Structure 1
Amino acid sequence: MGHRNPEAQAEIDAPLETVWQVMLDVDAYGEWNPFVVKAECPTPPAVGDPILLHVVWANGKGVTSPERIKQVDGPVTDAAGTTRATLAYVYEGLPAKLGLVRGTRYQRLVQEPGGPTTYTTAEEFSGPLVKLAGPGRVAEGFARHARALKERAESLAG
């Protein structure tokens, strides 16, 4: 795991479409997500929409993170039967506006025929003050988010 670009992954025993629905149901984040405890966004999220994330760090402290939806590529199955989907958003806080810390978070789903859904998330950071963004604490939050997404989607897939 890169320190500069935090990431997390989970193998989820649920159909990709179920995981995708959990990811897009931003109004329900408070019910299951220990990292992004609230997301203020039009639903369903669409490219160009603002999204305000209420993040809680491992130490219990919280912060809001203004973002903008960059990519909403719903489930598509290729000729080999592999299904993929991607949700991405771009950080728009003051450090980004000043060019000090830029970040884009990608959340990707892949499901091979008959297999589990693989969820991966990564933040692509750039800028001179990336260290101050706390890539380590972001990675820890992503890990909690991935575990909770797995639990939520598997419980719904039942």
Structure 2
Amino acid sequence: MNPSARVEITAPLELVWQVMLDTERYGEWNPFVVRVETEQPAAIGNPIVLHVAWASGRRSRSPERITALDPPSTLGERTTARMSYDYEGWPARFGLVRGTRHQRLEQVAGGATVYETVEEFSGPLVLLAGPGRVADGFRRHAEALRARAEELAR
């Protein structure tokens, strides 16, 4: 029930992180989140409005709030980073659908960067939120992030 996606990216984690935070350029490469409205630089507590393009061609706005922004940090051979945000649309305000999206990066020294994203859904109307279409969007987003970061790394 929790949509997710995972890809390995042949690029340094710090570069992938920069692409993730450069929300003003999402329209250049991201087929799922085609536009983002948020203050720059990103900060915990900032509102963020995602303009989403579904595989069906329909579009919607998703009001969110940044809840975690952990920049790249290295411990031993492992570097990690994380960005999370909570859904704040009217279904969330009424307790009908709640969602927290996590985007995590991990790289072991000398290896590829692993990007993982998951939406933790809860509430009585979760099925109406379309977990399947969200998972499809996450896959398209992850593949496009890989392509963008690998292009920039060349």
> TM-score, normalised to structure 2's length?
0.99
Number of aligned pairs? 154
Corresponding residue of 1:30: 27
CA distance in 1, matches of 2:117, 2:40: 21
1:88 deviation in Å?
0.4
Identity %: 63
**2:65 paired with 1:82:** no
One-letter amino acid matched to 2:14: E
Whether the 8 Å CA contact 1:18–1:157 is kept in 2: the answer is: yes
CA contact (8 A) 1:24 1:43 kept: no
What residue in structure 2 maps to residue 10 of structure 1? 7
Deviation at 1:81, TM superposition (A): 1.6
* Counterpart residue number, 1:64: 61
Name the CA distance, whole Å, in 2 between partners of 1:99 and 1:123. Answer: 16
Question: Equivalences for 1:109-124 in 2 at 5 Å?
Answer: 109-124=105-120
1:33 is displaced (CA, Å) by 0.2
Letter in 1 for 2:26: Y
Cα distance in 1 for residues equivalent to 2:82 and 2:9: 16
Match of 2:39 in 1: 42
Where has structure 1 moved over 2 Å in runs of 4 or more? none
Aligned residue identity for 2:31: P
2:151: which partner in 1? 155
Structure 1 unpaired stretches of 5+? none
Structure 2 CA distance for aligned equivalents of residues 16 and 71 of structure 1: 17
The code of the aligned residue for 2:145 comes to L
Distance 2:62 2:82 in 1: 20
Residues 88-122 of structure 1: per-residue CA shift (max 9 Å, x gap): 00000000000000000000000001000000000
Find the partner of 1:134 among 130, 133, 144: 130
- Provide the aligned C-alpha RMSD in A: 0.4
Instruction: Specify every segment of 5 or more residues in structure 2 that has no aligned partner in the other structure, as ranges.
Output: none
